[in-house]
Structure 1
Amino acid sequence: MTYSESAESRADRAGEQSGDEWRTDAVGAGLSAIAYALLDVAAAIRENTEARQ
């Protein structure tokens, strides 16, 4: 599974949460989705940098 797939999966999971008792899980899943998206961006930057050298 790629970072972008993980981010999308976790964002979907966060969006499915509802109610007060699920708020913490939703926030955690949302933050996890952001982290995976940032890892995907970092990988793209790294690949671009390597290609330029």
Structure 2
Amino acid sequence: MDSYEGQARMAADRATEMFGEENQVTAIGEGLGAIAYALLEVASAIRESTEARRGH
């Protein structure tokens, strides 16, 4: 995990240098939104799987 954290920090720093802090914040927000959406999809799949097992 530490390796990924370091890579993420370096990428964020590069984005700030290239595009400014405002764009970094926007990119982080969009990334967090994508993660939240993916987690909702996983939760939905787990729920469907659980319901299917209970129904059989």
Q: TM-score range by the shorter chain?
A: 0.5 to 0.7
Rg larger in 1 or in 2? 2
> What is the total number of aligned residue pairs between the two structures?
41
Bigger relative contact order, structure 1 or 2 (CA pairs below 8 A, ≥6 apart): 1
1:1-53 Cα offsets, whole Å, 9 max, x none, are xxxxxxxxxx68x612224x611100000000000000110000000000011
Secondary structure of 1:49's partner? helix
**Pick from 34, 38, 43: which aligns with 1:36?**
34
Measure the CA separation in 1 of the matches of 2:35 and 2:28: 11
Identical pairs, percent = 12
Aligned-residue RMSD, C-alpha: 2.1
5+ residue gaps, structure 1, are 1-10
The 4+ residue runs of structure 1 with deviation greater than 3 A are: none
5+ residue gaps, structure 2, are 1-7, 52-56
